[in-house]
Amino acid sequence: MNLNQITIPSLDVNRSVHFYKNLGLIQIVDALPRYARFECPDGTATFSIHEVPHLPTGEGITIYFECDDLDAQVEKLIEKGISFEEMPADKPWLWREARLKDPDNNQLILYFAGDIRKNPPWRLQTT
């Protein structure tokens, strides 16, 4: 089994499309104003946005995008006018992360973890 796609809700898909294209995702489906899908520039995963009348309540959705060149990527995005809540920082779980919000207030985390992503020192041993 492999994760294919994540779909997030949006009040304004057009606005979100602009944001995610600016973030660097490649739009592959345009069914505006209700739906759009993107490819990530690296890997095979896809990411889509669908229109909803109301956003979920509570903490909402957190989306992680891995970047091999995290610090440089963050600087490029800042130059494009994208604001970050937290600049790249090393975390106790051994990842380097930067945090921002999309137009619908979904939490985005750009990060670099390398091999630690799937193989942290505390990984369960499988038999």
Please, what are the domains in the chain? 5-117 (3.10.180.10)
Say if residues 55 and 104 touch (Cβ distance below 8 Å): yes
Helix (H, G, I), strand (E, B) or coil at 74: helix
Q: How confident is the model at residue 126 (pLDDT cuts 50, 70, 90)?
A: confident
| Average pLDDT of the residues of the chain | 94
| pLDDT value at residue 80 | 95
Percentage of the chain beyond pLDDT 90 is 87
| pLDDT value at residue 59 | 81
Burial of 92 (0-12, 13-18, 19+ CB in 10 A): exposed
- Which tens digits make up the pLDDT trace of 31-66? 999 999 999 998 899 999 999 999 988 888 999 999
| pLDDT value at residue 117 | 93
Percentage of the chain beyond pLDDT 70 is 99
More confident residue, 4 or 25: 25
Quick check: bond before 33 cis, omega within 30?
yes
Give the span between the Cα atoms of 81 and 75, in whole angstroms. 10
Across 7-11, 20-24, 52-56, 59-63, least confident range: 59-63
More confident residue, 1 or 17: 17
